[in-house]
Amino acid sequence: MILGHLWGIYTHPKQEWRTIDKKHEGLLSGCLSHILITALFPSIFAFISSVYIGWDIGAGEPIFLTASSAIPMAIAMYIALITGVFALAYLTYWMSKTFGAAPSMTQAIELAAYTATPLFMTSVAALFPHLWFLMLVGLAGLTYSVYLLYTGVPILMHIPEERGFIYASSIVTAGLVLLVSIITSSVILWSYGFGPEFVH
């Protein structure tokens, strides 16, 4: 069922991880659909806020983007988010043998997809695009994503919690490196003329 685990990962995460581990709904009908839908939220809300509401950075008037520049940026964000989830899943799969785990690629994608969900869902905060508010909500989403990762790794990877803690810490480190890489790529693209166009 599409988005069937969304409520569970918020209300009873450990139990929901066990349900995900038992059912393994399949890549297409389960976690892939989940990724494709939840990754839409940041792109859509970022577009709406940047074009129609304006971003308040704490100094001066709100900043607006032209729709013609916001659309390709929203599409690029969507592609980057999906790519980031799959890259994190691959890193999770690649590191698994080091920690005595033997997951399938589907399990690694499930872990990455459902762990990223709180971060994706906090994008609704973009409808109130004040920098301080977005930072607080983003921090809360990141914290819960990390919590999901630490609770999900031992269950999905079928390893003891102690080893799962170290494995999850390695995934967090890899995720931070991945995030820096995405930000760096964005800056490089902006320098080549793919940046935003502001409404004056």
Cα separation, 172 vs 175, whole angstroms: 5
Tell me, yes or no, whether 10 lies in a domain. Answer: no
Q: Is 84 domain-assigned?
A: yes
Q: Given its phi and psi angles, is residue 56 left (phi above 0), alpha (psi -120 to 50 degrees) or beta?
A: beta
**For the chain, what is the domain count?**
1
Q: Which amino acid is at 56?
A: D
3-state secondary structure of 145: helix
pLDDT digits (tens, 9 = 90+) for 158-180: 999 999 999 999 999 988 888 88
Q: Flag whether pLDDT at 28 surpasses 70.
A: no
**Is residue 18, in this structure, part of any structural domain at all?**
no
Question: For position 178, what pLDDT does the model report?
Answer: 83
**Mean pLDDT (whole number) for 121-142:** 92
CA gap 108, 163 in Å, rounded: 16
Residue 1, pLDDT > 60, answer no
CA distance 22 to 20: 6
Number of neighbouring beta carbons within 10 Å of residue 175: 22
pLDDT tens digits along 64-112? 999 998 898 899 889 999 999 999 999 999 999 999 999 888 899 999 9
Q: Say how many residues make up the chain.
A: 200
Residue 8 lies in a domain: no
Do the domain assignments include residue 14?
no
Full domain range(s) for residue 168:
25-194
Pick the range with the lowest mean pLDDT from 56-60, 113-117, 162-166.
Answer: 56-60
d(CA 17, CA 155): 7
Q: Which residues contact 77 (CB under 8 A, 6 or more apart)?
A: 42, 43, 46
Number of helices (H), then strands (E), in the chain:
8, 0
Decide if 43 is inside a domain. Answer: yes
Chain position carrying tokens 């785990």 = 101
Give me the mean pLDDT over the 111-134 stretch: 92
pLDDT-derived band at 2 (thresholds 50, 70, 90) equals low
91 lies in some domain: yes
pTM here is: 0.89
Q: What is the pLDDT of residue 193?
A: 62
| pLDDT(48) > 90 | yes
pLDDT at position 154, please?
96
